[in-house]
Amino acid sequence: MLNAVDISNLTVKYPDVTALDDVSFAIKQGDFLGIIGPNGAGKSTLFDSMLGLNTNYAGTIKFFDEDIKKSKTYHKEIGYVPQKPEFENNFPATVSEVVRMGLRKKSDDKKVDEILQQLWIHELRNRRIGELSGGQLQRVFIAKALVNDPKILILDEPSTGVDQQSIDLFFSILKELNSKQGITIIWSSHDLDAVNKLANHVACLNRTLFFHGKSETFFSDDKLVKQYSEASMQEHMHHH
Amino acid sequence: MSFEILTYAFMHRALIAGTAIAILCSVMGLFLVLRRYSLFGDALAHSSFGGIALGLFAGIYPLWTAYGVSIISALLITKIKEKYNISGDASIAVLLSSGIAVGLVIISFSGGFSLDIFSFLFGSILLVSVDDTVAIVALTGVILMIILLLYRQILYSTFNERQAKVSGVQVDKINYLIIILAGVTVVTAVQLVGVLLISALFVIPNVTAIMYGRGFKQTMFISMTIAVSSVIAGILISYVFDITPAGTIVLFAIGVLAVTMGIKSAGLLSKN
């Protein structure tokens, strides 16, 4: 089967630090991959490279066998949900206007309505974006990412600063998207338990690829989990 | 007050040209305000002053040289900002003073201030010719058409550049386009309120409209309504009381803003 994503020998060097060192892994269509790693492990750099925001890398990144440096259409396959939906707090746009921004086709009211309903934000569609709670905003941004029927959904640590009820809803939405609609999900997270519960594959990143494989393998290996936790902890203490 | 003033041809031209400019400035201004480029219009207007002086000095129709200088300055400011990592407000200040400085030097070469310069500094909507009116309406139409065609891309890159880029919007090109369109808009609007009050037309109706509107289109519509009413009211009031139209237009718009702020403080508008 065709790989949804194929990353080989990805290396990103900044003047003072190597952010990613020879990272290679592949993601099959329909996989739910959790990417974990301490702060500064290169997760953002990896995402920026996959999303076309950073082109200054060695190695190749392919979506459905197409090199993203050569393809102009690969954006169509990807939906992206940012870590924090950053916008001017008083930006005058309604929920449905924000979702529509993502819409590539001229206008597809039915599709927008469908997505809004699927994500439990249909009743918010005429509300101004700045009035929403963190959890509601998160679902608006997932809706925006999904409105073009992407094959791959990339989510950047989106569960921070959101209440528990919204987090649970968010997880169930992800699960449904992956299992019922077959959307490949790449999700960067700090929450090991959540990754354990949701993702069927894990990539553990700390500038190099520390582990990539089935979640069961990772989470049943206490040594691996411990090593990861220690790396995280060291990084955590380093940051404070 | 009689309705006689509405029968004068110059008044018709002023109202038509004024309405077109009001619509154009409020639409462009909304994007500029949301991109935190509120003073950009002001900087371009001041640099176009240099262009106007150049035109008058060289005997070329001053608006043409103003268009050239304004667009070149707009591109220059963007390049300088990127290349030398100068902050937005500082680069605007540089552009703003360079335009006036160049203008002043050229004017002193040509033997001092003329009436023409004053009409560009303070606006001269009542003197606008048939040709000018046609040109203003046509330019407004073209710019609005471009914005309409690229509406989603422009809105998306104004909302969040990063996400727009990921969705395949060519954000860099859109940014340059916005800047060029702003340059053209500014010079077109100079005839209405003059170099000194341009940013008022860009900013005030939009700041007001953002307090009322829920969605983007609604906000744009409210802003247009405020801008057009300010221009029409300003032109008519100024004629009746024989005062400057530019100042009256801007004061009217400021009045609408003040009333809106009052309503908002009284808690009659939603929290955003």
Chain segment B202-253, per-residue pLDDT in tens: 999 999 999 998 899 999 999 999 999 999 999 999 999 999 999 999 999 9
B31 Cα distance to chain centroid: 12
- pLDDT value at A26 more than 90: yes
Look at residue B160 and tell me whether its pLDDT is greater than 50. yes
Nearest to B123 by CA among B111, B132, B131, B134: B132
Name the band, by pLDDT with cuts 50, 70 and 90, for residue A106.
low
- CATH number of the B3-196 domain: 1.10.3470.10
Superfamily of domain A3-239: P-loop containing nucleotide triphosphate hydrolases (3.40.50.300)
Residue numbers in A near B34 (CB within 8 A): 88, 91-92
Buried b / exposed e over B157-176, threshold 16 CB at 10 Å, is bbbbbebbbbbbbebeebbe
Q: What is the CA radius of gyration of chain A?
A: 18
Cβ–Cβ below 8 Å for B156 and A101: yes
* Shortest CA gap B270–chain A (Å): 9
> For residue A233, is pLDDT > 70?
no
Determine the residue of chain B that is closest to A77 in CA distance.
B167
CB contact under 8 A, B216 and A93: yes
Mean pLDDT of A8-29: 92
Q: Quick one: pLDDT at residue B272?
A: 46
**Closest alpha carbon to B60 in B110, B96, B17, B108:** B110
Query: Which residue of chain A has the CA closest to B153?
Result: A101
- Smallest CA-to-CA distance from A13 within A59, A78, A82 is with A59
A59 touching B (Cβ < 8 Å) = no
**Considering only A68-72, A73-77, A155-159, B52-56, which range has the smallest mean pLDDT?**
A155-159
What are the residues whose beta carbons fall under 8 Å from the beta carbon of B125, sequence distance 6 or more?
A: B14, B17, B18, B191, B192, B193, B235, B245, B246
pLDDT digits over A144-179, tens only? 999 988 999 999 876 566 788 888 888 899 999 999
A20 pLDDT band (50/70/90 cuts)? very high
Is B173 part of the contact surface with chain A (CB cutoff 8 Å)? no
Could you give the CA distance from residue B58 to residue B46 in angstroms, rounded to a whole number? Answer: 19
Paired strand residues for A6? A26, A62
Beta bridge partners of A66: A63
Residue B6: the pLDDT is 83
User: For helices B9-34 and B130-149, what crossing angle results, to 10°?
Assistant: 30
B148 CB near a chain A CB, below 8 Å?
Answer: no
Interface of A with B in 196-215 (CB under 8 A): none
Are B168 and A76 in contact (CB < 8 Å)?
yes
- Cβ neighbours for A135, distance < 8 A, ≥ 6 positions apart: A162, A163, A165, A166, A167, A169, A170
Pick from A80, A88, A130: CB nearest B163? A80
**pLDDT > 70? residue B101:** yes
CA distance B210 to B212: 5
Contacts of A198 (CB under 8 A, 6+ apart): A32, A34, A171, A174, A175, A187
Q: Which of residues 31-90 of B touch A (CB under 8 A)?
A: 34
Residue of A162 and B84 predicted with greater confidence: B84
Distance from CA of A102 to the nearest CA of B (A): 7
Find the helix packing angle between B198-212 and B40-58, rounded to 10°.
Answer: 160
Per-residue tokens: B66: 């103003």
**Mean pLDDT across the stretch B123-141?**
92
Cα gap A235→A201, rounded to integer Å:
24
How confident is the model at residue A240, as a pLDDT? 46
**pLDDT tens profile A116-151:** 999 889 999 999 999 998 888 989 999 999 998 899
Tell whether A90 lies on the interface with B, counting CB pairs under 8 A.
yes
User: How close is the nearest chain A Cα to the Cα of B217, in Å?
Assistant: 8
Look at A80 and B167 and tell me if their CB atoms are within 8 Å: yes
* Residue A209 phi, psi (nearest 5): -85, 115
CB contact under 8 A, A82 and B162: yes
Per-residue confidence (pLDDT) for residue B200, from 0 to 100: 92
- Judging contacts by C-beta atoms under 8 Å, the chain A residues touching residue B219 are 92
User: How far is A72 from B46, CA to CA, in rounded Å?
Assistant: 40
How confident is the model at residue A214, as a pLDDT? 87
Tokens at A155, concatenated: 């989510």
Neighbours of B8 (CB within 10 A): 12
Whether the CB of B270 is below 8 Å from some CB of chain A: the reply is yes
> Of the spans A94-98, B5-9, B266-270, which averages the highest pLDDT?
A94-98
Cβ-Cβ contacts under 8 Å, B223 against chain A: none
Length of chain B: 272
Testing the interface with B: which of A128, A146, A149 to mutate, by most B Cβ within 10 A? A128
Chain segment B175-192, per-residue pLDDT in tens: 999 999 999 999 999 888
CA distance A158 to B176: 32
Size of interface A-B (CB pairs under 8 A): 75
Per CB-CB distance under 8 Å, the chain A contacts of B173 are none
B163 to chain A: which residues are within 8 Å by CB? 80, 82, 144
